[in-house]
Structure 1
Amino acid sequence: MTDHPTPPSLPHAVRSTPWHTDTALAHLGRTSATAALSVNPPLVRASTTVFPTLAEFKDSYRGTVFEAPRYGRSGTSTQFELQAAMAQLCGAQSCIALPSGLAAIAAVLGAHARPGGQILVQEGVYGPAQVLCDQVLAPLQCRIDYFDSVDSLRELWTDQACLVFIEVPSSLTMRMLDAAAVSEFAASRGVPVACDSTWGTPLFFDAHALGIALSIHAATKYINGHSDVVLGLVTGSYEALASTRAWCDRQGSHVSADACALVLRGMRTLGLRMPRHHASALAVAAWLQAQPQIERVLFPALPSDPGHALWRRQFSGAPGPFTVELAPCSEAAFEAFINALQLFGLGTSWGGFESLVMPAIAHHLRALPVQPDAGRLVRLHIGLEAPGDLCDDLAAALAHIGHGAGPSSP
């Protein structure tokens, strides 16, 4: 089994302290705990913020940086604790919490979209983000262009470009993109890059160090880690976040204090969970490569993956989700494989403690009642179970596809 990776150094915002990342995760976001004589910051639920004086009430409405109580919709101290902790962890000035990862993506895209403008989107990003671009933004006369490389980004670029949106690696297909090169090109033209950084988390992927202006995380997944809350986070400088923050204020976007408290609690163990996900995912992925029922494993952390060299340059680890292509099989055999899995739940999320399996169906094939026998993709999320048990479970399920039994699990 692959050794656990050395946790990455802290982003620049907290390098002034002698703290290791794990220490920071234990102590960030606890400013209000002292007054409550508590280890954890208090859970503050409020629809109304009450001010002791008129002067303080007026001061709360000066400026556009909402990091102190103003009104329940803009947050309580519980939300501010989570936002401050995430901003420091990511080496950013500020952070915005939103109701979900998709809400965070929608806020960033919506804040930058304009009639006559151009948003350049990486091919293969999260499916609902593509639907949002095609069915909401494009009808509003915002031009949407999809690119698959830095070269195609240059070719599609126009003077109306207002945002570049990427995801590394790409959803389902796990393709790597040179985020640093994209950011450098866009910055030279004064256009921000937004990145869905959920897969790598701040521990394995330092988005802002690569020049990414807006880093988006579905905290639903690894940041929380317990599959019991839905929440999104966007980090960046005050300037980079200004239009997104204003968009959220206009749209009435709000996240509950309870959700923030759960995510802040889950964040405490991120430094322990991520190396375990990394090691187990590598072990299971390597085992799957040797199985006759597997055509290929799409996982940039594997040396055989075409994006491996780029992954090594821009990531310090790899978490649990990756995709496999099965050997050609019938729909009945595929269904038998999925249904035979005992330790992998059939679900569409990932990032929790449990392992999951999901058919990874390309958008152009989703309307078909029966999928083609060849090129059938499955996304696996490797949870915190023992990898040997997961491999045994997969081996028993793969037997339904045929091609003989593979070697024993590690």
Structure 2
Amino acid sequence: ILLMGQRSGRQERSKKPQLALSETMEAETEVRNNKEEAEEVKAKNQRLASVFGVADLKNEAVGLYNLGQTCCLNSLLQVFLMNIHFTGILRRITVPQSAAQQKNSVPYQMLLLLEKMQRGKRKAVGPTELAYCLAQHRVRFFVQHDAAQLFLTLWNLLKKQMKRPELVEELKNLYTICIQEHLACQNCSFEMKSKSTMLTLPLPVLDADSHWLKSLEDCVQHFFLPEELTGPNMCFCQKCGRKTPFLQSMKLVHLPQTLTLHLQRFNFERSSRTYKLSHYLSFPQHLDFREVLPENQCQADASEKATWQYELFAVVAHSGSTSCGHYCAYVRSLTEHKWYCFNDSMVCPVSWDDVKCTYGHPRLNWYANGSLFLPNAALDFGMRAVRSGKTNGFG
């Protein structure tokens, strides 16, 4: 209104204000366009950062929908993706160039699933694209998988498809255990030594006399006990020139930042019958291998042993029998320091007493805890990892 009054009072100066008004409107339009463009670029960068970079998981824990007996896969994915050391490696992968390569890449599809879980406030998301990708690599669904075997399959696919050598090396360092095996002839002084690596430490839950072991510490100690190889198990001695009794022993050389322990609950008999060992077996929240293993079963210096202190990060538990059952995961958030139970799409905070339900029980029943069913079942497979100060993690 003010501009209209000035223009009608001074006709001789009408062109300059009109030109100034036009220039002002163009300037405002340009500023607005630049602002919108800047906001669009910022939003795009934030989307990329959520995938490749920067912010950690700050939203509530997110579940994964069951696509058809994918509870085992869902449980393992939750443990992988809740491990900030693993996701730190995952976020630095080289993105495949073509759409076909992207669909076939397990690391890339796992990265997209992580981004999908972090985007928005959904309680659960579907791992459909990753499941399709795994199917291309002959990972079958609508069958009950063994968690330890599926974990090994996923890890090998990740290691194979990560193109950057330094990331492959970081992945190995994060999970790989190093053992030195000794074979000593009992008739002479001949001895063989060899180092080997493994992804999980397969712990027996029965001793040599088929008695139940009562704790995780007992299982670790029994795994490293020397064993006499006699009868049909004798080995050929190069010095004696024939098969002789040997003493087999193992020494611990190196433990990774993420230590994976596998309780061998599935027992195989000579009659080809497989059954599950569901007896009670406790495990601690903190584990120091220096206190569990004697000095003669370790092959490491003091600096290496100083890192052998662990805290529990995750438990993958199985409820049911060898032919059918259900998996869920108990994971401790490394940012919130709280325990969660991931039961496919259902997620809820739990206490340490709830986690101890996975100690096992002869009766494989379930009990209700609010709207979530927690398994009163045996620990079948655990994996964990995180360094808290100087403390690693195990599971």
- Under a length normalisation based on structure 2, what TM-score does the superposition of the two structures give? 0.24
Q: Which has the higher strand share?
A: 2
- Under a length normalisation based on structure 1, what TM-score does the superposition of the two structures give? 0.23
Structure of greater Rg:
2
